[in-house]
Structure formats: structure tokens, C-alpha cells
A and B are shown apart, each in its own frame.
Chain A
Amino acid sequence: MNWRLIKDKLIRQSFATLLVLSLVVIVIILVGLSIKSMPLLRAERLGVILTESVWSPMNGSFGFLPFIMGTVWVTFISLIIAVPLCVLASVYLVEYAGEALRKMVLPLMNVLAAIPPVLYGVWGVLFVVPFLSQYIAPIVGAETTGYTVFAGGIVLAVMIFPIMVSIMVEVLQTIPYELKAASLSLGATKWETIVKVILIKAKPGLIAAVVLGISRAFGETIAVLMVCGNIPQIPKSFFDAGYPLPALIANNFGEMMSIPLYDSALMFAALLLFVLIFGFNLISRLILNRLERKS
């Protein structure tokens, strides 16, 4: 056979192998985490671990509910703050702002996205935490150190803002001009066109942007860990401290390994995070497919 053709075949096959290898890594992680979590799962039923709210490794009780709820609270707060802001900002950038402003702001977004999370954490400790305890909490009559799920949510919102805005801007730019023209030519104002046509048409893409934001928020560790207090309790309000899953792993891994089942519990935390993110992505992918088929 011709050497060129052999080379072509070889390249094709080696690339395919590399692809499979990268997929295998995911499986290896999943299997590894599962094996390491087995001791805990053997000692306690899964249902109990997930719904038990007491975390006291010394006494052998490993309730993960506080951490799950901590993650949920922080993510939820960050979305409440970031999603409306991102939608409005990207609509402004695409529909109202001039070319010059757009060209200036979008690269700036990328810079924001590239700032290391620990810097956001420092910013949170220096500004967000004191601001919450001194100015915001008194308004609603709450007393707090400022190290709360609220602070975590705010820091996280700022962190997912750039990625969500960049994607939303791209999504909005794909809406054909003629569709806007169709609405405008019926006498609709620009705002009516945005709300009733553009945002509706862009919905699947906007949801995809939010999903990416959530995935990022789920896994974000260091910045959140620095501001949300890290007390293993189920938060009851914005001004309670929380303890998200990634923070649990990062704070404790490598320490206190002499406590029985502790390392297994941390591995289980990692497995839980993995499954949550994986499941979440899967579900959102399904929803998106459905939405895309519909439109």
C-alpha cells in the first residue's frame, strides 16, 4: 500500500485511540471514586448519608445534607443575581450598544473570566463580607459576620458573569436581522421586539449559557470557601453560613485521616459532586434538545 495512505490510516486510528483514552479517564475517575467511597457506603445506607444533617466524623456520623444544601444555596443565590443581569447586559450589548463599545467590553469580559478564583475570594473577604455584615444585614435586621451563603452567591455571581455574558452575546448575535425586521415592520417597538421575539427565539441558547454558568458555580471551590463561613449546617436564610461540597473536600483532604471512614467520606463527597454535575449536564442537555426540536 502507498505510504501516504498508510500514514493517513495510522493518524486516523491514533487520534481515535486518544479520544477513547480521554473518555476512559472519566470512567477511571468515576470507578476510583466509587471504590474509595465503598467503606462509607458499607457502613451506612446511602439514603441515610444523603438525608442525615449531622456531620460529626469523630462520632462517626456523616450527614451530607448540609453540604448539598450549602452548594444548592450558593448556586441558587448566584443565579438569582447573575441571570437577570447577564440577560440584560447581553441584550444591551447586542441590540443597543454601538460597535465600538461592544468591541471594548467583550475582550474585557474575557479578562474577567481569566482572573484566578483566589483573587475573587480575596475581593469577597475584603469587600463583600464586610459590606454584608455592616450595611446589608442591619437593613433586614440580621446579625452576621458576613461570612454567609449570600457572600458566596455574590462572589460566584461575579465569577460566572463573564462566561454567561459572552455566550449570551453570541447567541443573540445569531438571531437573523430579518426576524427583527419582521417584527419592526409590523410597528413593534424595539423593546417589544426584544421581549416578544428575540428573547423567545434565543431561549434555548440562553438556557445553555445558564447551564454552563451553573456547572461552573457547582464546582467553584476556593473563592466560595473563603467567604461562606464553612459551618456544616443547613442554611436557613441568605445570612446563614454554609459549607458547599467542594469546600468540604478542599478544606479537609489530607488532614485528620486517622479518623475512621473520614477519607472514604471525602471521596464520597467528590463522587457526589461528580454525579451531581454529570447528572445536571445530562438533564439540561435533554431539555435543550427538546427545546431545539420544538422551535
Chain B
Amino acid sequence: MHTSSRIQAAETQDLGNISVPHIQIKNLNVTIEGKRILKDINLSIPNNSITSIIGPSGCGKTTLLKTLNRLVDDTKGVEITGSVLVNGEDLYAKDAEVTHIRKKMGLLSQKPFPLPMSIFDNVAYGPRIHGEKNKQVLAQIVETQLRNVGLWDEVKDRLDASATRLSIGQQQRLCLARGLAVKPEIILGDESTSALDPVSTQTIENLLIELKQDYTIVLVTHILRQARRVSDYIIFVYNGEIIEFGKTDDVLLHPKHEITQQYVKGFIS
């Protein structure tokens, strides 16, 4: 099957009522040290929903996620063509400012990486670098975001303690709160629960489902059951190409393509 027909198929999938595509990717190509990692990606990611990117390891799903906040820029030998539009604004335009772009995207990485400072300072870090100096405002932001992720009651008495003392599940929620504190529009999750125990995983999943009322969420996951539990839409990536994109049940239960079927049934991973 040729690339063009696959993309045709992906685009003609019925997505139901997408009100506004929050993120639009057009003809995106990513090459890393001569190897094509992403090939002619065209996508419209709807707002206020959870979209999961699934696919076998090494297929380019994490790279796809990193193109959204331009962390892919840091990769050695990377070349990027095409455009990524957020609210119609091209992230890859020549005059685009990368810190401004990243502020719009909260990132939740595989393992929690709390910054080497206190719990309070972790959450206040983002607002502070963007110029917030007022202590009361900062305290308010910290409390609000820690409440948002259900961590406030657990840590309110030790906000000055080092963030690394928290359990790993608490750390991941702290990282989420830290991301939310800069008022992003989009939350990106890169296998964000892979280091967590089942209970913490469930907490994070429930949080994400709650948060989609206010944010557009894009997750990379290799756990199909998780994709099924949390997402509204699914993107199946294989070999750097988008094979299928549609509503969760459509893709997982009635995949249109043979490769997707094989992946969903577990024949390829």
C-alpha cells in the first residue's frame, strides 16, 4: 500500500463532530541523521479531548509528540519540514519563539523528573520564569495546581521539603501540577504512567480525563488498554506513517487496515 492512499484513508476516517481542530499538522517530515522518522504527517487533533498515539516501539510516536513542543529541535542531526499549527499559528514559522510555544504545552514525561528544589518551588518555577514575583499570587497558583492534581492535602504541611522525597506517584502528579502552573492549552504525555504502580496510574488517568474539559490532551502510550480507557481518539503510527486515525472504538474494535488489526490483536508490537 502506498503512503498517499494510507493518508487518504486516515483523513477520511469519520471523526464525529470535531468542533475546532486545536492542533493541525501539515506535511510534517522529520529526518534524524539521514533516517526518515516521520513521513508526510497530516493530522487534525480536536480540542477538549484525549488523543492517544499508539504504535510499535520505534515507530516515531514519541518523535511525533516532541514535534508538538519543539523539544525535537534538541535532537542531534534533526531536520524538520512542514508545519504544526496551534490555533492557526505555525510553531515552525521562522519568527516563532520557542519558549512561548513550550509554555502552551505541559509535558508529562515517562518518569517523573522533579526539579532539584522544594515542592513549592517546583510548581512556582514556571510562573516565576515567566515573570510572576508576587508571593501571594505564587502561593495561590501553587495551592490551586496542587489541588487540581489531588496532591494538596498530602503535601500542604511540607511544601518546603525537597520534591525528591515524594513517592514516585506523587512526583508524577507534582510534575503535572508544575506543567499546569504555566497555564498551558495542551498537555502532552509521553508514556506518563509507565513508571508508576497501578494505583498511581489510575490516579493519573482519572486526572487526565477530568482535565480534558479544559485542555487538549495528546498521549503517547504503548498500553492498548490504557488507550482504550482514556482516549477519545486514536492515532496508529507505523514506520513513521499514520496508518489510521479515528474514534477510539473505531480504531481499536473495527480497524480498517490490516497492520492496525495485527497491532491491535497483538501480532506485532
Contacts and interface: CB of A to CB of B under 8 A. Distances in A.
B71 A184 contact: yes
B110 A178 contact: yes
Given A179-B115, A197-B115, A185 B107 contact: yes
A182 B113 contact: yes
A188 B113 contact: no
B115 A192 contact: no
B115 A183 contact: yes
Interface in A158-205: 176-179, 181-189, 192, 196-197, 200-201
A183 B179 CA distance: 10
A42 interface: no
A186 B110 contact: no
A186 B182 contact: yes
A73 B106 CA distance: 50
Contacts of A255: none
Contacts of B117: 200
Interface residues of A, number: 21
Interface in B87-118: 99-100, 102-103, 105-107, 109-111, 113, 115-117
A234 B3 CA distance: 80
A185 B69 contact: yes
A187 B182 contact: yes
Nearest to B97: A187
A171 to B, nearest CB: 13
B150 interface: no
A186 B164 contact: no
B110 to A, nearest CB: 7
A22 interface: no
A295 interface: yes
B72 to A, nearest CB: 11
Given A188-B129, A189-B99, A295-B162, A200 B107 contact: no
Contact of A186 (B74, B109, B111, B125): B125
A294 B161 CA distance: 10
A99 interface: yes
Given A181-B107, A196-B125, A295-B164, A187 B100 contact: yes
A197 B125 CA distance: 10
Given A294-B162, A295-B162, A186 B113 contact: no
B230 to A, nearest CB: 21
Given A179-B113, A187-B99, 9 more contacts: A182-B113, A182-B175, A184-B102, A185-B179, A186-B102, A186-B103, A186-B182, A200-B116, A294-B162
